[in-house]
């Protein structure tokens, strides 16, 4: 067994927030288990092996196991390469008095039995699909671009989350666990069982802001500058969005030159409950003037919380209902956002903006031009490029369109 102990100080956190505690894995190791104990503060937990990243659970766990055949959610199973490994400790919150801690690492040549798999729930019933106008050969897909499972700080398994998404009438769901991709191998089977497209995702999570990377890109290194995240995603066929840019201590405060800024912005996050508050729109106008693409996400973690899958709903205009099709639509900026899957929506269809189920609202263009919507299916020529929105007569935002 390898043991580390001590006290992290506030100065330690300010000097370097991520600490690496070394341990050796001998040849023939069949399992390793790491246990963390501490008092006060918040310490995140992760793992790095000789060949790279092996997992992250943030502050959601104090113990993890990795074996060749299975691993604690958040961590990657596979060969336990002999050599120098590291426990990652993220000093997320350290009070002035410091945080005493202990870390114990146990390796064994004896395989540990795999935990028993949960029984799959029956395939959920889906509500009727919404018939939305689209160009020939294309279709609008309803989805949610921000959700978590037990692979980070969520409470549902991937299968349970997929079932809820299908029951809500969503066509796709991006599963975006914090700083890990351990959930990615589970997505195809869970999505097929539930009848919903599960898009591989990762919420790259730091003290100064969060970003979602969509697509089967592999792990994105949160230790790197944020410009590297966007380039890494794009080089591997994915795309990045800035998450909840005005959301308490999770607001976006990372430096990012304008030339490196991704157009996707999670303007409509579940925390935007007062949509007469115009700060998210103002932030977006400054982020990438005339070029920002709106997306939304519930940031779902737990059924016991107030967040609901699909509130808001992000619509994408896709050629096919697949993870690749969703990511391609995001990369091309073919998006719309509504408060839910059955709510009023504003779509860009060829040369028109089409407002559906939005009688009595106001269409607002990027230059401030306003048009009253009279009727449940109204097409208005799309004269101006950029983001449009629907508002009520009290200036409450009810739909966004890229």
Q: How far, in Å, CA of 123 to CA of 362, rounded? A: 40
pLDDT at residue 119, as a whole number: 83
* One CATH from 1.10.10.10, 3.20.20.70, 3.30.200.20, 3.20.20.140 for 139-337: 3.20.20.140
pLDDT at residue 176, as a whole number: 99
* DSSP H/E element including 187: helix 187-194
pLDDT at residue 379, as a whole number: 98
Q: How far, in Å, CA of 364 to CA of 392, rounded? A: 10
pLDDT at residue 118, as a whole number: 80
b (16+ CB within 10 A) / e for 174-211 = bbbbbbbbbbbebbeebbebbbbbbbbbbbbbbeebbb
- Determine the 3-state secondary structure of 74 from DSSP: coil
Q: Is 28 left (phi over 0), alpha (psi -120 to 50) or beta?
A: left
- Determine the 3-state secondary structure of 320 from DSSP: coil
- Determine the 3-state secondary structure of 43 from DSSP: strand
pLDDT at residue 290, as a whole number: 83
pLDDT at residue 122, as a whole number: 87
Query: Considering only CA atoms, which of 52, 30, 326 is closest in space to residue 180?
Result: 52
DSSP letters spanning 142-178: EEES-B--TTTT-SS-HHHHHHHHHHTT-SEEEEEEE
Per CATH, is 2-108 categorized as 3.40.50.1370?
A: no
Q: In what order do the strands lie in the sheet with 42-49?
A: 18-25, 83-93, 42-49, 52-58
Tell me the two tokens of residue 362: 């106001």
pLDDT at residue 121, as a whole number: 82
Going residue by residue through the chain, which has 402 residues, state the pLDDT in tens, using 9 for 90 and above: 899 999 999 999 999 999 999 999 999 999 999 999 999 999 999 999 999 999 999 999 999 999 999 999 999 999 999 999 999 999 999 999 999 999 999 999 999 999 988 888 888 899 999 999 999 999 999 999 999 999 999 999 999 999 999 999 999 999 999 999 999 999 999 999 999 999 999 999 999 999 999 999 999 999 999 999 999 999 999 999 999 999 989 999 999 999 999 999 999 999 999 999 999 999 999 999 888 999 999 999 999 998 999 999 999 999 999 999 999 999 999 999 999 999 999 999 999 999 999 999 999 999 889 999 999 999 999 988 899 999 999 999 999 999
Domain spans in the chain, listed from the N-terminal domain onward? 2-108, 139-337
**pTM of the prediction?**
0.96
Q: Quick check: 272 and 296 in contact, CB under 8 A? A: no
Contacting residues for 15 by C-beta, under 8 A, at least 6 apart: none
């Amino acid at each position: 067994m390898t043991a580390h102990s001590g006290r992290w100080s506030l100065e330690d956190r300010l000097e370097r927030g991520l600490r690496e505690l070394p341990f050796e894995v001998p040849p023939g190791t069949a399992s390793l288990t790491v246990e963390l104990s501490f008092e006060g503060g918040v310490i995140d937990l992760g793992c790095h092996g000789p060949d790279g990243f092996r997992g992250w659970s943030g502050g959601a766990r104090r113990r993890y196991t990795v074996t060749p055949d299975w691993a604690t959610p958040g961590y990657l199973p596979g060969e336990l390469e002999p050599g120098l490994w590291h426990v990652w400790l993220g000093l997320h919150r350290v009070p002035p008095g410091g945080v005493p801690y202990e870390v114990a690492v146990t390796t064994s040549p004896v395989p540990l039995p795999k935990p028993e798999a949960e029984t799959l729930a029956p395939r959920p019933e889906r509500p009727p699909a919404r018939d939305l106008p689209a160009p020939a050969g294309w279709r609008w897909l309803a989805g949610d671009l921000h959700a978590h499972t037990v692979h980070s700080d969520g409470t549902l398994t991937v299968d349970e989350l997929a079932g809820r998404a299908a029951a809500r009438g969503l066509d796709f769901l991006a599963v975006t666990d914090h700083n890990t991709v351990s959930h990615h191998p589970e997505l195809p089977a869970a999505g097929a069982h539930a009848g919903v497209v599960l898009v591989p995702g990762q919420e790259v999570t730091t003290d100064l802001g969060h970003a979602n990377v969509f697509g089967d890109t592999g792990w994105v290194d949160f230790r790197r500058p944020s410009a590297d995240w966007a380039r890494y995603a794009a080089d591997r066929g994915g795309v990045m969005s800035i998450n909840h840019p005005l959301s308490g201590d999770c607001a976006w405060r990372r430096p990012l030159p304008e030339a490196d800024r991704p157009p996707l912005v999670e303007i409509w996050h579940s925390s935007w409950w007062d949509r007469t508050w115009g700060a998210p729109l103002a932030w977006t106008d400054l982020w990438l003037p005339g070029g920002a693409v709106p997306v939304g996400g519930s940031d779902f973690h737990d059924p016991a919380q107030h967040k609901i899958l699909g509130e808001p709903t992000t619509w994408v205009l896709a050629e096919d209902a697949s993870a690749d099709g969703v990511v391609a639509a995001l990369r091309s900026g073919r998006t719309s956002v509504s408060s839910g899957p059955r709510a009023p929506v504003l779509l860009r269809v060829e040369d028109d903006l089409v407002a559906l189920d939005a009688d009595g609202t106001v269409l607002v263009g990027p230059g401030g031009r306003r048009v009253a919507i009279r009727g449940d299916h109204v097409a208005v020529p799309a004269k101006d490029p950029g983001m449009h929105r629907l508002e009520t007569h009290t200036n409450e935002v009810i739909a966004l369109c890229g």
